[in-house]
Amino acid sequence: MLTIALHADNEKKMLLENFCIAYKNILEKYHLIGTQATAQHIRMATGMNVTELLAGGLGGDKQLETAIMNEQVDVLITFERVDIDRFHEPADHNALIRLCDFYSIPVATNISTAECLIMCLGRGDLDWREEMKNR
C-alpha cells in the first residue's frame, strides 16, 4: 500500500483538513502518516486512520525525513505558511523538499499541485511505486 505523508503548518491545517475531507474517497485507500497535530486534525475532521508521528518540533519532522530517506513515503503533501516578506523558506521545509527530490517522491506544496497529485492517485498513475517496492 502506498504511503501519503501529510504535513501542514498551524496556519495551513484547516486547508489540509478541507482537502482531506474533499478527497477522502481517494485518501482512505492509502496509508496516511503525519506529525502529531496534523494527524490529529485530519483524524478528527475525516475519521480516517492517520499514523501519528511525534509533534513536529519534538522530532516528528525528523521522523518524517527519516521515513522519506528509508523510502517509506510515496507522496508528500505539505502546506507551509508563505510570507511575502520572508526571503527564505524554513529549514525543515527545504529539507523535506530536497529529500523528496533526491528520492523521486512526488510532492505538493500548494492546493493546486495537491489536487493534481490526488487525481493521479485516484486514477492509479502512481501504482508503479508499489510495484517497485515489491521487487
Q: Which residues are catalytic?
A: 61
Q: Measured over all CA atoms, what is the biggest interatomic distance in the chain, rounded to whole angstroms?
A: 47
How far is residue 57's CA from residue 59's CA, in Å, rounded to a whole number? 6
Q: Which three cell numbers stand for residue 31?
A: 496509508
Whole-angstrom CA distances from 79 to 9, 42, 58, 125 are 6, 13, 19, 22
Query: Between helices 111-123 and 13-22, what is the axis angle to 10°?
Result: 30
